[in-house]
A and B are shown apart, each in its own frame.
Chain A
Amino acid sequence: MSKLLPVPSRGMIPERDIESPPVLEAIHLGVDFGGLVAVDDFHLLIGRTEISGLIGPNGAGKTTVFNLLTKVYQPTRGTILLGDKDTAGMNTSQVCRAGIARTFQNIRLFKDMTVAENVMVGLHHDIKYHIPGAIFRVPGYWRQEKAARGKAKDMLSIFNMQDMGDIKAGGLPYGAQRRLEIVRALATDPSILLLDEPAAGMNPSETAELMENITKIRDVYQIAIMLIEHDMKLVMGICEGIAVLNYGKIIAKGTPAEIMSNPVVVEAYLGKKEA
Chain B
Amino acid sequence: MAALLIVSILGAVFSADSTAIGQIMISRPIFCGPVIGLIIGDIETGLKIGMLMELIWITVVPMGVSLPPDSSVVTTIATYLAVIFPGNIPGNIPGNIPAGGQEHIVFYLLMAIPMGILFKKLDILHRKYNSYFVYKMEQKINEGKFGYINKAIYSSALFFILKGFIFLMVIILTASLVLPGIYRVIPGNIKDSMNLLFYILPAVGLGTAMTTFFFKKSRRLRNEKIK
Same complex for A and B? Answer no
Residues of A in contact with B (beta carbons under 8 Å apart): none
Residues of B in contact with A (beta carbons under 8 Å apart): none
